[in-house]
Structure 1
Amino acid sequence: MTSHALKTVVLAGALFAATSSMAMAQTRNQPQPAPARPAPAGAAPVRPTASEDASAIRSGEVIARVGDSDVTAEEVRATIQLLDARQQAAMARDPALLSQTVRAILANRLVLKEASAKKWEQQPTVVAQLARARESLIVETYLQSVTAPPDSFPSEAEVKSVYEANASALLVPRRFRLAQIVVAVPKDADKAAEDIARKKLEDVMKKVKQTGADFGAIARSASDDTASAEREGEIGWVNEPDLRTEIRGQVTGLPKSGITDAIRLDDGWHIVKLVDTEAAHTRSFAEVRDALVQRMRAERIEANRRAYVAEVLKQSPPVVNEIALSKLLEAKPDSTSSR
């Protein structure tokens, strides 16, 4: 692998890691746009027609362009293949991450062009780091090739056996879908603030206890918790073990759509509505099968890796000068090498 290609791999991976979490947060709930064909700089992307099949894209077809540099379909595929299984799975769930990957490659090209113009790769520290990165890449990819289990592992019977053996760990606790109204007043508030809060609390309690009361509307207008008030008091699903003791004690005895008495917490009074309940259950085999397969393969790869490295060391036992090593750790780094 050339130093140019190696730099491309290293920077593209770093850029993807930096952008993937941001992309997921920004696009999870957004409608996904269709892939765009490359357009000249500053021009709006052109959407493919319905007849264009993404799976038929040729390896050399240009996907994007920045300046005078093109990114081909083959380069995008190669970058995706460098990602670990978790990142590839995230991309499969969220196609917008593919666009972020292409943008990372484009950003990489721009930075690489600027660095190359300044002959940055000739810096002594960069030369040394590239050499170490090259060695690490060779070793890592070789170890992956010799320690990967066969595609047939694990068998369906093996996966089911692990599922049955770990059924207790796959238990999903009972959970509650809750809404709340908050009357804010800190515990160290003065008497005047406490009296005002109690007056508001009494008014709110009268409203929510009335027959046919619209809890969501009351929360929207009266709750001091802005975030949940905007959602008509909804705070979503909460696992029973995650509930505060004060709230759990009241919620667990409520019928569906029941409302608790006012509960005093550090930030004020909470009136909680039980919107729905989901009973505790064990995740089905179908739900966890793929995750179990990935976990079993990862564990087998790790075991194979340890065994392989141990055998290599057994065949060529290393000799370490422990005294010199201890002195090296005690010595202060050279001022020139730390720059």
Structure 2
Amino acid sequence: MNLAPLRGTILMRSLRVSMMATALAGLPLAAFAQTAAPPRPAHAVAKPKAVAPAPTAPQQAAATQGAATAKSAASDDVIARVGTTNISADQIRAYVAALGPRERAAFTQDPNLLSQAVRLMLANRLVLQEVAAKKWDQKPNIAEQLERVRESAVVELYLQQVSTPPSSFPSEDDLQKVYDANRASFLMPRQFELAQIFIAVAKDADRATEDKAKRTVEELQRKLKAPGADFAALANETSEAKTGGALGWVAETQIRPEIRSQVMALAKNAIAEPIRLDDGWHIVKLIDTKAAYTKTLPEVREPLTQQMRSERAAALRRAYLAELLKQNPPVINELALSSLLGGPTPAAR
């Protein structure tokens, strides 16, 4: 259950980050990142031959779009159309295939996401038509910016390719070793299933408001102590949410200290005494308790695998770049470089 919208939350604001994210952020995976030799760059780079300038991205997109539109017009696989632009089933399949596993799974679970993506594709095609018609991308300053973007994209895609770990990484043995070394990080604290009745009162409320709130709390206490009292019904009377005051399962570390001490002393289905905090009065009911436990390897396998692959990819990228620079040491005229921007020379720094 999402607790954020609840008024008068009992959660500590500084502890809303999940335990899993915290645990995985600092895993010592360096040893595993070094187990495979990094890809070696070419020892020599041939002098490029003069070639005709490549078409810009908008020109390429316009040409591809024209061919795709012609193909789609002659077939029955047109899925979407805007203006003179068609998008075929093959194009959408190619788009989905290029996504990561998580994105593909999201599209499978929610078809509306794919519909939104297709609408965005159509909007992009219209913009590209405008660009091509106005020859906007051929303006000298725009062409230069596009070339820089293209260079950055090519470098990034290439580095991703040469630094992608093999599909067999991490092995079961690697996973087990990292899990065992970080078992304490997967400890889930004790959890409490809670409900509460909240009476909002500002910290600096006047005396009349304070007295009214206190009378409301006293009346609630009287009703709650009556035989057959219905906590959820009383919570609905004081809240617009109409959820019976349910807060769901809350980790011990996420409960505000003033309330935690009372909750920990409660028996199952017992109700704590009203607690006055800076946002108002809290009447908390303990519904159930879960003991602390350590998540098993199957429970953390997916995020742990992703973390290890990410660490390995970063290590392979660093190793590749280090080797490339070692084989081709850069030479920079620092004095001339400094003077370009009119800054102080290296000797004067």
Report the TM range for the smaller structure's normalisation.
0.7 to 0.9
The percentage of counterpart residues that share the same residue type is 53
The answer to whether 1:235 aligns with 2:265 is no
Q: Find the aligned partners of 1:192 and 1:237 in 2 and give their Cα distance.
A: 36
Aligned to 1:316: 328
Amino acid at match of 1:282: T
Q: C-alpha displacement at 1:2, in angstroms?
A: 4.7
Q: Which protein is bigger by CA-based radius of gyration?
A: 2
Query: 8 Å contact 1:178–1:276 — kept in the other structure?
Result: yes
* Inter-partner Cα distance in structure 2 for 1:119 and 1:288: 52
What is the CA–CA distance in structure 2 between the aligned matches of 1:289 and 1:264, rounded to whole Å?
Answer: 43
**Structure 1's 236 and 321: CA in aligned 2 closer, same or farther, altered over 3 A?**
farther
Partner of 2:297: 285
**Are the structure 2 counterparts of residues 147 and 187 from structure 1 closer, same or farther at C-alpha, using a change threshold of 3 Å?**
closer
What is the aligned-residue RMSD (CA, Å)? 2.6
Correspondent of 2:80 among 60, 64, 68: 64
2:312 pairs with 1:259:
no
Aligned to 1:173: 189
Q: Distance in 1 between matches of 2:115 and 2:342?
A: 48
Alignment partner for residue 128 of structure 2, among 112, 123, 127? Answer: 112
Match of 1:245 among 243, 254, 257: 257
| Equivalent residue, structure 2, for 1:55 | none
SS at match of 2:227: coil
Distance 1:300 1:93, change over 3 A: farther
Instruction: Please state if 1:153 is matched with 2:169.
Output: yes
Is 1:296 paired with 2:308? yes
Counterpart in the other structure of 1:38: none
The C-alpha deviation readout for 1:110-167, integer Å capped at 9, x for no partner, is 2222333222212333212221122122222222222222221211111121111111
Q: How does 1:81-100 map onto structure 2 within 5 Å?
A: 81-84=97-100, 87-88=103-104, 90-91=106-107, 94-100=110-116
Change (3 A) 1:60 1:321: farther
> What one-letter code is carried by the residue in structure 2 that aligns with 1:273?
K
Partners of 2:191 and 2:292 within 8 A in 1: yes
Is the alpha carbon distance of 1:60 and 1:4 closer, same or farther for their aligned partners in structure 2, counting shifts above 3 Å? farther
Q: What 5-or-longer segments of structure 1 have no aligned partner?
A: 9-58, 332-339
1:164 corresponds to 2:180: yes
Q: Which has the higher contact order (CA 8 A, sep 6+)?
A: 2
Corresponding residue pairs, total = 278
Deviations 1:205-239 (A, max 9, x none): 1112223211111111124xx4xx42121222222
Q: Which amino acid aligns with 1:264?
A: R
Cα distance, 1:327 vs structure 2: 4.3
**Counterpart among 53, 56, 64 of residue 3 in structure 1:** 56
Deviations 1:156-191 (A, max 9, x none): 111121111111111122222221111222232222
Separation of aligned partners in 2, 1:291 and 1:264:
40
Relative distance call for 1:188 and 1:166 in structure 2 (3 A) is same
Partner of 1:218: 234
Q: Deviations over 1:266-294 (max 9, x none)?
A: 11111111222222221221121122222
Query: TM-score when scaled to structure 2?
Result: 0.72
Give TM-score, length-normalised by structure 1: 0.74
Aligned to 1:142: 158
Aligned to 1:198: 214
- Aligned to 1:275, which of 257, 270, 287? 287
The answer to whether 1:182 aligns with 2:198 is: yes
CA contact (8 A) 2:59 2:132 kept: no
SS at match of 1:271: strand
**For the Cα contact (< 8 Å) 1:6–1:134, is it kept in 2?**
no
